[in-house]
Structure 1
Amino acid sequence: MNETHSDMPRAILSALAAPSRAAEIDPADDVYGWLIGSWSLQVLHYRGFDLRDERLSGEVHAGWALEGRAIHDVWIMPAREDRRAKRMARDPQNDMYGTTLRAWDPALRAWRITWNNPARGHRETQIGRRIGDEIVQIGSRPDGQATRWRFTDMTPNRFHWIGEALDVDGKTWRLEGEFLATRAGM
């Protein structure tokens, strides 16, 4: 292979991207396929702060990856347009440019999730599955703090995302992030 550096983005994207779900994943287990595409985010809460009055926006882009055995996405906040316009004024506490890899694990019959936001040094691992009308991801941070992320109110063109962390009392889930998403172009 004689790829130049200018060919590398195209080569990795071609190797990473997949056109659809792998055949061995049963349609009933495809709990994330609806996420494929681009989404605009309205940020309601982040890091426990109510940001509705801030009018902070974000974006999500998701696609099938790894021969259709995973979904790879990028969550960006503030949205790229705002990041360019307000580069110097961006609040480092509200900086998110991270990626999620949701890989199907047939032995668990669930999705193994890895989140990494290098803009803030934030990492988490979780297990995701459908529970009732929600998709629930349970896991932890490197320091052991338990987390729960949920997709609720999902339609083909909208969803509500809620991120929580287990409080030190071991019983109370504390709201850390909340987004309303609308499919881009809607």
Structure 2
Amino acid sequence: MMNVTEAHLKQGFSPALVADGRAAEITGSDDAYGWLVGSWELDVLHYRVDMSARRMTGEVHFAWVLEGRAVQDVWIMPRRSQRIPAPGADNNMYGTTLRIWDAALRAWRVTYFNPVTGQRNELTGRRVGRDIVQIGTHADGTPIRWNFTDITDDSFRWTGVALEPDGVTWRLEAAFLGRRTR
């Protein structure tokens, strides 16, 4: 006999959230994020400080959700297989991003939450050539830019920068190299 939790997962939340693909009203040229659907390994190059010598890794998983009108992800660092014992908050990411297509704006509204650290960010995302440029703010109002660059079918570079109080200097906060897993 199926318990309540099993029934919920089989018939409830997960099937109601996850979609098979992009909604028909989002054109291929407006689909900035669909190529990300699937699972990716991450090399952490920078997370508040240069981390290249530490060889930290992460993982990220993307799916179409909300009848194909949004793309959601789960960013995890360190990888789930490396999270024992639990990492300290400084290098702990287990958050989610929801990217919802806004037809009136002709852009994606992007919201990221990391409940481990309380981080919350609001951005607007668009394709700019082959890159995806996301511009917004941290919860405290600090301007940020999060970009997907060096995009191929199986790899990307993701960087996050924040504007310093001088109003001129952009400081690197995070950089990841992603490789698709099969």
Query: Partner amino acid for 1:37?
Result: G
Partner residue in 1 for 2:79: 79
- 2:133 is paired with a residue whose SS is strand
Partner residue in 2 for 1:69: 69
Partner residue in 2 for 1:114: 111
CA distance in 1, matches of 2:124, 2:89: 28
Residue 131 of structure 2 corresponds to residue 130 of structure 1: no
Query: Partner amino acid for 1:51?
Result: M
CA distance in 2, matches of 1:164, 1:125: 14
Instruction: Structure 1: give runs of 5+ residues left out of the alignment.
Output: none
Residue 136 of structure 2 corresponds to residue 139 of structure 1: yes
Matched residue pairs, number? 179
The CA deviation at 1:40 is 0.1
CA distance in 1, matches of 2:73, 2:148: 15
* TM superposition outliers: structure 1 runs of 4+ over 4 Å: none
CA distance in 2, matches of 1:16, 1:34: 19
Partner residue in 2 for 1:152: 149
The CA deviation at 1:173 is 1.1
Bigger share in helix: 1
Query: Partner amino acid for 1:29?
Result: D
CA distance in 1, matches of 2:120, 2:88: 19
Residue pairs, 1:10-25, within 5 angstroms: 10=10, 11-25=12-26
- 1:8 is paired with a residue whose SS is helix
Query: Partner amino acid for 1:58?
Result: G
Deviations 1:38-71 (A, max 9, x none): 0000000001x00011110000000000000000
- 1:54 is paired with a residue whose SS is coil
Deviations 1:69-103 (A, max 9, x none): 000100000000001xx315x23200000000000
Deviations 1:89-142 (A, max 9, x none): x23200000000000000000000010000111000100001122100001112
Partner residue in 2 for 1:177: 174
Instruction: Structure 2: give runs of 5+ residues left out of the alignment.
Output: none
Residue pairs, 1:22-101, within 5 angstroms: 22-47=23-48, 49-83=49-83, 86-88=84-86, 90-101=87-98
CA distance in 2, matches of 1:132, 1:184: 25
Query: Partner amino acid for 1:30?
Result: D
